[in-house]
Amino acid sequence: MKDNANNPQSFIKMERARRLMDQGHYQESMILALDVLLQELDTLRDSLLALQTVTRPELPTAAPQALAEQPQPEPYWLPAVKPRVLH
């Protein structure tokens, strides 16, 4: 790697996973890549929750009651699909 100090840790781990894949270590590569993706998703979730708390306007006291009184729509169910049999 050219300059590890400027690369995020997740990028370094993904490069390592790519090298493992090139070497034929598929399981180790996939485990490492999935771990990195999980960490990135956790970071994204935390960021979105922080944005939600900052951007959500304070609800007036009557609003939660109004939300509770609104009729809930019927859930939409997808038709059952027969599983495909692969031979």
- Using a cut of 0.75, tell me whether the model's pTM lies above it: no
Residue-wise pLDDT tens digits, 17-76: 999 999 999 999 999 999 999 999 999 999 999 998 888 776 555 555 555 666 666 666
Return the structure tokens found at 77.
């169910």
